[in-house]
C-alpha cells in the first residue's frame, strides 16, 4: 500500500480519536462516557501491540505459551470486587493520582519512596512504550512496503510518534488536578479497545474460515509440520511452575502497571463499574485469544521455510493474498492497541514524574508565594512536556537501541520490574506493620536482583551463551549464574527473575518492617488504608497531627494552587462538614488533612505534605502516642456508633411509650365512656323504680289497675337491672381472660334449636317466622352454654331488626373443612356500612334501628364477640342478598 | 289547662310522669324520641317540655336546639331530665337554653315543683 495513503488513513483515524475525545469531554455526553462498559473497555488497554502481534509470534514459536499473560488477569478478576474496590476507595478519598502517590502516601507521604516508585515505573515502561512505537513503525513499513530510513527525519513513523505525543500531551493534561477524570482519553481508549478486538476477530475469522477450512483444517495441516509436537508440548512440572509464575506476574501487572492503575483506579467514576468489569474484562480477553492460535499456525503453514517475522503474521497473511482492505484494518487495529497503551502510560508516567519527582524535589521551582495561575500553568506545562518527551524519548530508544528482542520478551521484562512494587503495594492494603524503610529496601533489593538476573544478561545479549557472566556466573561463581541463581535451573529467565526478585523483595520488606518501627505518619496512614471502610465519610477524623497552625496560612497555600474561588468553596464545605466556626483562627488536624488532600491531586502527596508543613508548626508525636490516639479514635468511633444506636433505641422506646400512652388514653376514654354508659343504663331502671314507688307510696287514690302496672314495672325494671349487672360481669370476665369455657364436641343444630325454644313465644307474638338450615349431625368444638347464649343474642338482635310485618329469620349452618359457619339473617333494613365493625363494641347502638330503643343493654353483641373469639372463631356482620342484616360466626372443628 | 310534653324513650318512666302531671291538671303529650317530639311540636305549643337527653335518632340536646329556633315556642319552658349528671352535661344543657336541669333518678314531687316555679 502506498505510504501516503497509509499516512492519510492514520491522520484520518487520529482525527476521529481527537473528535471522540473532544466529544466525550462535554458534560452532556456523560451518560455515554460514564458507564461500566466504557470503564471495562478502557481496562482493555492491557492488550497492547504485544497482544495484537506478539501473542501470535509466541504461539507460532512455542504453542500455548502466550496464554499465562491473560490467564493471570482472568484468575484474579473476581477479587477486584474486594481489592480493586478498596484501592479505588483509598485513592478517591486521598485524591491519589498514581501508583507512586499511592505507595508514597501509605508510607508516610514519603518523598523518596514516591520518587523510587516513579523511577521503577520509568525503567519498566519507557522501553515498553518504545516497543509499541517499534510495532507501529515496523508494521507501517511492512504494510507500506517501505524500508526503514536511517535518517529519522525522513522516516514517516517519526511524524506519527510526534502526532501521538501531541495528542497525549493535549488530552492528558486538561486538569491541574491529576486525580480528575479524563473522560476524553478514556472514551478514546475504550473505542480503540473495541476496534482492535473487532479487527483482530475479523482477521481471525478470515484466516480460519477463508484461507483455511476451519480450526480442524489448520490443526490437521499444522500437525504435519516438522516441529509441531515439540513446540506444542507442555514440559511437565518445571514448565507448569513457569506457567504459574507467569500467571502470578500478570496478576500483579493488572494492578500495578501505571496504565492499568490509571484506567482502573484514577479514571474510575463509580465503584460499581467493577461489578461489570469482573466478568466483561475476562470475556474480552477470551475473545481476543480465541484466534491467536489459528492465525499463528495458519502463518506457520503458509510461510513454512521462509524467513519471516512471525509477530507480523496477521499482516502478512492478508498481504500474501493481496487483500488490501483487510491489511489496512489489521494495521489500524494494531495501531489502536499501540497508541492506547502509549497515551495512557505516558500520562500516568508524566503525572508521576511531576508529582513525585519534579515538584517535591523543587525541579520546577519552589511554587511558593506564586500566583495560582502561574503555579497551575507551571504544573500543567511540566506534565505536558513530560508526556511529550516521554514518548519522544521512547521513540529515540527504539531508534538507537534497536530493541532486537521480540515484543513479548521486552513486555515481560517490564512486568517483572513493575512487579517489584507488589509487596509494598499489597502490604499497604492489608498489613498495618509495613513500614517505609521496609518498602524502600524491598523495592531496591528486588530491583537489584531484577537488574542482575534480567536486565544485565539481556543487555549483554541473551543469546550470547558464550558470555562468561551468563555461563560461568559472577566472578566464576556458579551459584551466581544470572539465569540459574543459587542453582535454580529449571525456570525460564523471566519466571526465574520474577521468583528471585520477589523473594528477596518480600523478605526484605517483611524483615525490615518487623524489625524497625515506622514513624507516626506511616502508622496513621496504615490505619487509614487498611481500615478504609471505617473512614470513607470522614477520613479527616482519622488523621493525627499535633502542633500549631493558622487557618489563614493554610488558606493562603491553598489559594496558590486552587485559586480564591475554589479555596473559599472548599473551606465552606469543610466548615459545614465538621461544624467549624469560620472565624476560628487555629487549624486542627482535620483541616491539615483536608488541605493536604486538596493539594495532593495537583502536586502529589509528598509535596502536599511538604507545602503544608512549611506553614504550620508541627510537634513531634511518638509512635506510642499515635497508637493511643488511634485506639481512642477507634473507641470514639465505636462509642459514636453505640451512641447512635442508643439514641435510635431511645427514639424507638419513646415512640413505643407514646404509643402505649396514646392507647392508655384511648383505653381510659373507652373506660370513661363505658362507665358513663353503664351508669346511665343502671340509673334508668332505678329511675323507673323510684318514680313508680313514689307514686305508690304517696298516692292512695291510684286506681287498682295502674297500681298493679306500676308494681309490675318495678319487677321488670329490677330484672333488667340484674341482667345488666350479669352481662357487665360476664363481659369483664371475658375481657380479662378470666372466663373459662368448657369446649367439647357438640352438635350445633341441637344447640340452635335449644336456643330458639325460649324465644318462640316472642317470635309468635311478633309474627316472625324462623327457619333453620343445615345438616343435622354437623359437629364442632364449643362450650354449649356459651354458644346457646350467642345464638340467643343474635336471634334477639334479628328480632329487633325484623320489619313489623312478615318478619323472617334464617339460621344457616355451613360445614367447611376446618370449621363451621353459622349465619343469622333477617329481612330488615340491614346494617349501614359504617356499623359493620362497630356493632360489636360495647353499648354501641345502631343508628338504623327501626324501633325506638333497643330492648337489650347494648352489651349483647360485645359479649358474643368475646365468646366467639375465646373459641378461636370469628364473628362479623354483612348484609344479606335481600338487604337484611346478616351476622356470621365460625367455630373450629378441631 | 297548661300543656306539657314529655319526651323520653323509657316507657316505664314516661308512665309515672304522665300519671303525675295528669293528676296535676296538665294536658299531657308524649314523645318517645326527639324526632317524634319535633313532629308533635309542629301542631302543639306546650307550656312545658320535659326532655330526656340520651335517646335514639335525635337526642335531647339537638331537640332543644330545634325548639329554640321555633318562634312559636318562645314562651315554652324546657326542663332536661337526664341520667347524665356530670357538671359538664348540666352546663351544656343550660347553655343551650334549657330552663332547668334535673337528674335521674328524680323525685316526682320536685319535678312538679320545678314546673310550677317555671310557670309562675
| Whole-number Å distance between alpha carbons of A386 and A573 | 34
Say which of A695, A847, A852 has its CB closest to residue B16: A695
Query: A806 versus B100: which is more confidently predicted?
Result: B100
> What pLDDT is stored for residue B12 in this prediction?
92
Mean pLDDT split into 10-residue runs, chain A, 894 residues = 79 84 74 83 86 84 80 89 89 85 86 90 88 84 76 73 83 68 83 90 88 83 74 70 87 90 87 89 90 86 80 85 85 87 87 84 65 75 86 84 63 88 89 86 91 78 57 64 68 83 91 81 78 70 73 79 81 77 76 80 75 73 64 65 79 87 80 77 91 91 91 91 85 81 89 89 87 88 90 87 85 90 88 73 53 53 87 88 86 87
Which positions in chain A touch B39 (Cβ < 8 Å)?
none
> What pLDDT is stored for residue A468 in this prediction?
62
Q: Do A673 and A758 fall into the same domain?
A: no
| Whole-number Å distance between alpha carbons of A240 and A692 | 116
Q: Do A305 and A288 fall into the same domain?
A: yes
Say which of A690, A695, A706 has its CB closest to residue B105: A690
Q: Do A781 and A716 fall into the same domain?
A: no
A688 interfaces chain B, CB cutoff of 8 Å: yes
> What pLDDT is stored for residue A233 in this prediction?
65
Alpha helices in A492-550 (DSSP H): 493-515, 520-530
What's the start-to-end Cα distance of chain A, in Å? 94
> What pLDDT is stored for residue A888 in this prediction?
92
CA distances from A587 to A57, A105, A601, A614 (A): 61, 22, 21, 14
List the one residue out of A180, A336, A344 whose CA is nearest residue A262. A344
| Whole-number Å distance between alpha carbons of A100 and A116 | 8
In a domain, A200, yes or no: yes
| Whole-number Å distance between alpha carbons of A687 and A680 | 10
A684 interfaces chain B, CB cutoff of 8 Å: yes
In a domain, A412, yes or no: no
Residue A15: domain span: 3-407
User: Closest residue of B to A845, CA-based?
Assistant: B56
Yes or no: say if B20 and B30 are a contact pair by the CB < 8 Å rule: no
**Would the CB atoms of A716 and B12 count as touching at under 8 Å?**
yes
Q: Do A438 and A504 fall into the same domain?
A: yes
Q: Do A40 and A108 fall into the same domain?
A: yes
B56 interfaces chain A, CB cutoff of 8 Å: yes
List the one residue out of A216, A213, A231, A188 whose CA is nearest residue A42. A188
**Would the CB atoms of A716 and B56 count as touching at under 8 Å?**
no
Q: Which residues contact A751 (CB under 8 A, 6 or more apart)?
A: A782, A784, A787, A788, A791
Strands A875-879 and A885-892: antiparallel
Q: Do A54 and A109 fall into the same domain?
A: yes
Which positions in chain A touch B13 (Cβ < 8 Å)?
684, 687-688, 691
| Residue recorded with cell 521486552 | A410
| Whole-number Å distance between alpha carbons of A474 and A464 | 16
Q: Do A311 and A272 fall into the same domain?
A: yes
| Whole-number Å distance between alpha carbons of A21 and A185 | 6
Q: Which residues contact A803 (CB under 8 A, 6 or more apart)?
A: A827, A828, A829, A850
Q: Do A688 and A602 fall into the same domain?
A: no
Question: Nearest CA of chain B to the CA of A677: how many Å?
Answer: 9
Which positions in chain A touch B17 (Cβ < 8 Å)?
691
A691 interfaces chain B, CB cutoff of 8 Å: yes
**Would the CB atoms of B57 and A847 count as touching at under 8 Å?**
yes
In a domain, A413, yes or no: no
Vertex A67, ends A64 and A70: CA angle to 5°? 170
Say which of B19, B57, B105 has its CB closest to residue A687: B105
Q: What is the CATH number of the domain that holds A692?
A: 1.10.287.130
In a domain, A275, yes or no: yes
**Residue B35, Cβ neighbours under 10 Å: how many?**
18
**Would the CB atoms of B105 and A698 count as touching at under 8 Å?**
no
Fold of the domain spanning B2-119: Rossmann fold (3.40.50)
Which positions in chain A touch B106 (Cβ < 8 Å)?
687, 690-691
In a domain, A204, yes or no: yes
Which positions in chain A touch B32 (Cβ < 8 Å)?
852-853
- Output the CA torsion sign for B47, B51, B56, B57: positive
**Would the CB atoms of B13 and A695 count as touching at under 8 Å?**
no
Q: Does the reported pTM lie above 0.80?
A: no
Q: Do A529 and A564 fall into the same domain?
A: no
How much helix, strand and coil, in percent to the nearest 5, is found in chain B? 45, 20, 35
The pLDDT tens digits of the residues spanning B3-22 come to: 999 999 899 999 999 999 99
| Residue recorded with cell 419513646 | A654
SS (H, E, C) A368-422: CCCCHHHHHHHHHHHHHHHHHHHHHHHHHHHHHHCCCCCHHHHHHHHHHHHHCCH
A708 interfaces chain B, CB cutoff of 8 Å: no
**How many residues can be counted in chain A?**
894
> What pLDDT is stored for residue A694 in this prediction?
93
User: Closest residue of B to A673, CA-based?
Assistant: B84
What does DSSP assign to residue A619? Answer: P
B105 interfaces chain A, CB cutoff of 8 Å: yes
| Whole-number Å distance between alpha carbons of B94 and A533 | 73
Say which of B13, B55, B56 has its CB closest to residue A691: B13
Q: Do A711 and A811 fall into the same domain?
A: no
Q: Do A709 and A803 fall into the same domain?
A: no
Q: Which residues contact A817 (CB under 8 A, 6 or more apart)?
A: none
Yes or no: say if A496 and A488 are a contact pair by the CB < 8 Å rule: yes
A698 interfaces chain B, CB cutoff of 8 Å: yes
Q: Do A334 and A393 fall into the same domain?
A: yes
Q: Which three cell numbers stand for residue A670?
A: 373507652
A213 interfaces chain B, CB cutoff of 8 Å: no
Mutate to test the interface with A, among B7, B11, B17, B19 (most CBs of A within 10 A): B19
**Would the CB atoms of B83 and A694 count as touching at under 8 Å?**
no
Q: How far is CA A385 from the centre of its chain?
A: 38
- Report how many domains make up chain A: 5
Amino acid at each position: 500500500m502506498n505510504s501516503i495513503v497509509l499516512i492519510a488513513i492514520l491522520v484520518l483515524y487520529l482525527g476521529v480519536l481527537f473528535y471522540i475525545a473532544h466529544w466525550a469531554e462535554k458534560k452532556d455526553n456523560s451518560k455515554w462516557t460514564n458507564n461500566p462498559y466504557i470503564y471495562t473497555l478502557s481496562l482493555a488497554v492491557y492488550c497492547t501491540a504485544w497482544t495484537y502481534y506478539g501473542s501470535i509470534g509466541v504461539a507460532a514459536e512455542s504453542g500455548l505459551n502466550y496464554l499465562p499473560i491473560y490467564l493471570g488477569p482472568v484468575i484474579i478478576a473476581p477479587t477486584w470486587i474486594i481489592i480493586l474496590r478498596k484501592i479505588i476507595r483509598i485513592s478517591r478519598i486521598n485524591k491519589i493520582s498514581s501508583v507512586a502517590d499511592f505507595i508514597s502516601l501509605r508510607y508516610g507521604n514519603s518523598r523518596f519512596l514516591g520518587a523510587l516508585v516513579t523511577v521503577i515505573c520509568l525503567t519498566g515502561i519507557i522501553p515498553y512504550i518504545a516497543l509499541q512505537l517499534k510495532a507501529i513503525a515496523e508494521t507501517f513499513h511492512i504494510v507500506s512496503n517501505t524500508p526503514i530510513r536511517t535518517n529519522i527525519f525522513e522516516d514517516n513513523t517519526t511524524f506519527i510518534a510526534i502526532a501521538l505525543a501531541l495528542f497525549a500531551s493535549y488530552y492528558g493534561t486538561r486538569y491541574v488536578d491529576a486525580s480528575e477524570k479524563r473522560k476524553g482519553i478514556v472514551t478514546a481508549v475504550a473505542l480503540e479497545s473495541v476496534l482492535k478486538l473487532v479487527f483482530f476477530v475479523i482477521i481471525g475469522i478470515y484466516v480460519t474460515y477463508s484461507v483455511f477450512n476451519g480450526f480442524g483444517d489448520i490443526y490437521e495441516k499444522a500437525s504435519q509440520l516438522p516441529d509441531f509436537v515439540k513446540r506444542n508440548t507442555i514440559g511437565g512440572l518445571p514448565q507448569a511452575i513457569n506457567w504459574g509464575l507467569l500467571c502470578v506476574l500478570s496478576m500483579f501487572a493488572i494492578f500495578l502497571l501505571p496504565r492499568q492503575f490509571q484506567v482502573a483506579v484514577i479514571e474510575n467514576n463509580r465503584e460499581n463499574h467493577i461489578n461489570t468489569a469482573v466478568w466483561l474484562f475476562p470475556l474480552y480477553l477470551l475473545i481476543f485469544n480465541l484466534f491467536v492460535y489459528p492465525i499463528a499456525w495458519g502463518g506457520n503453514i503458509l510461510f513454512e521455510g521462509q524467513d519471516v517475522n512471525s509477530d507480523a503474521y496477521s499482516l502478512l497473511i492478508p498481504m500474501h493474498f493481496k487483500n488490501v482492505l483487510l491489511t489496512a484494518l489489521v494495521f489500524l487495529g494494531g495501531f489502536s492497541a499501540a497508541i492506547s497503551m502509549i497515551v495512557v502510560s505516558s500520562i500516568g508516567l508524566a503525572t508521576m514524574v511531576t508529582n513525585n519527582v519534579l515538584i517535591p524535589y523543587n525541579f520546577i521551582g519552589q511554587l511558593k508565594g506564586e500566583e495560582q495561575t502561574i503555579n497551575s500553568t507551571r504544573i500543567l506545562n511540566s506534565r505536558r512536556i513530560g508526556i511529550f518527551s516521554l514518548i519522544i524519548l521512547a521513540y529515540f530508544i527504539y531508534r538507537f537501541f534497536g530493541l532486537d528482542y521480540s515484543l513479548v520478551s521486552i513486555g515481560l521484562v517490564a512486568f517483572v520490574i513493575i512487579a517489584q512494587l507488589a509487596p509494598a503495594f499489597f502490604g499497604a492494603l492489608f498489613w498495618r506493620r509495613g513500614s517505609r524503610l521496609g518498602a524502600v529496601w524491598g523495592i531496591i533489593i528486588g530491583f537489584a536482583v531484577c537488574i542482575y538476573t534480567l536486565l544485565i544478561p539481556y543487555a549483554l545479549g541473551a543469546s550470547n551463551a558464550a558470555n562468561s557472566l551468563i555461563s560461568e556466573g559472577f566472578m566464576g561463581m556458579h551459584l551466581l549464574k544470572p539465569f540459574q541463581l543459587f542453582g535454580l535451573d529449571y525456570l525460564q529467565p523471566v519466571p526465574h527473575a520474577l521468583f528471585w526478585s520477589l523473594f528477596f523483595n518480600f523478605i526484605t520488606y517483611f524483615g525490615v518492617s518487623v524489625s524497625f518501627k515506622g514513624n507516626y505518619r506511616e502508622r496513621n496512614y496504615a490505619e487509614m488504608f487498611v481500615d478504609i471502610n471505617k473512614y470513607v465519610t470522614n477520613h479527616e477524623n482519622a488523621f493525627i497531627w499535633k502542633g500549631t497552625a493558622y487557618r489563614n496560612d493554610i488558606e493562603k497555600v491553598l489559594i496558590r494552587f486552587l485559586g480564591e474561588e475554589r479555596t473559599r468553596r472548599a473551606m465552606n464545605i469543610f466548615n459545614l462538614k465538621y461544624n467549624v466556626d469560620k472565624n476560628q483562627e487555629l487549624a486542627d488536624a482535620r483541616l491539615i488533612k483536608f488541605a493536604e488532600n486538596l493539594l495532593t491531586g495537583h502536586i502529589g502527596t509528598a509535596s502536599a505534605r511538604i507545602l503544608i508543613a512549611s506553614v504550620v508548626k508541627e510537634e513531634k508525636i511518638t509512635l506510642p502516642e499515635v497508637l493511643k490516639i488511634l485506639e481512642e479514635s477507634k473507641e470514639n468511633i465505636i462509642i459514636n456508633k453505640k451512641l447512635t444506636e442508643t439514641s435510635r433505641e431511645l427514639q424507638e422506646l419513646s415512640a413505643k411509650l407514646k404509643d402505649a400512652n396514646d392507647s392508655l388514653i384511648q383505653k381510659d376514654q373507652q373506660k370513661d365512656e363505658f362507665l358513663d354508659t353503664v351508669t346511665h343504663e343502671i340509673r334508668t331502671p332505678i329511675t323507673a323504680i323510684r318514680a313508680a314507688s313514689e307514686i305508690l307510696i304517696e298516692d292512695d287514690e291510684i286506681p287498682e289497675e295502674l297500681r298493679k302496672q306500676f308494681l309490675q314495672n318495678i319487677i321488670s325494671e329490677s330484672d333488667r337491672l340484674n341482667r345488666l349487672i350479669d352481662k357487665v360481669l360476664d363481659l369483664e370476665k371475658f375481657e380479662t381472660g378470666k372466663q373459662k369455657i368448657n369446649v367439647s364436641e357438640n352438635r350445633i343444630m341441637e344447640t340452635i334449636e335449644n336456643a330458639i325454644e325460649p324465644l318462640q313465644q316472642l317470635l309468635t307474638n311478633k309474627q316472625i317466622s324462623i327457619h333453620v338450615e343445615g345438616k343435622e349431625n354437623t359437629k364442632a368444638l364449643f362450650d354449649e352454654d356459651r354458644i346457646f347464649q350467642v345464638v340467643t343474642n343474635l336471634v334477639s338482635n334479628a328480632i329487633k331488626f325484623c320489619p313489623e310485618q312478615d318478619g323472617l329469620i334464617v339460621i344457616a349452618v355451613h360445614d367447611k373443612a376446618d370449621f363451621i359457619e353459622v349465619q343469622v339473617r333477617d329481612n330488615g333494613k340491614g346494617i349501614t356500612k359504617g356499623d359493620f365493625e362497630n356493632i360489636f363494641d360495647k353499648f354501641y347502638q345502631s343508628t338504623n334501628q327501626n324501633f325506638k330503643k333497643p330492648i337489650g343493654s347494648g352489651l349483647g353483641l360485645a359479649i358474643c364477640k368475646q365468646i366467639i373469639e375465646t373459641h378461636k372463631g370469628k364473628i362479623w356482620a354483612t348484609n344479606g342478598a335481600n338487604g337484611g342484616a346478616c351476622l356470621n360466626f365460625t367455630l373450629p372443628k378441631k | 289547662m297548661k300543656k306539657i310534653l314529655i319526651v323520653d324513650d323509657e316507657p316505664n318512666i314516661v308512665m309515672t310522669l304522665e300519671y303525675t302531671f295528669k293528676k296535676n291538671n296538665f294536658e299531657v303529650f308524649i314523645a318517645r324520641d326527639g324526632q317524634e317530639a319535633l313532629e308533635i311540636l309542629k301542631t302543639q305549643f306546650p307550656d312545658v317540655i320535659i326532655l330526656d337527653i340520651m335517646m335514639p335518632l335525635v337526642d335531647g340536646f339537638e331537640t332543644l336546639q330545634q325548639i329554640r329556633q321555633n318562634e312559636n315556642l318562645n314562651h315554652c319552658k324546657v326542663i332536661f331530665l337526664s341520667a347524665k349528671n356530670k357538671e359538664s352535661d348540666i352546663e351544656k344543657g343550660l347553655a343551650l337554653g334549657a330552663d332547668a336541669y334535673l337528674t335521674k333518678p328524680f323525685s316526682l314531687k320536685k319535678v312538679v315543683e320545678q314546673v310550677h316555679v317555671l310557670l309562675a
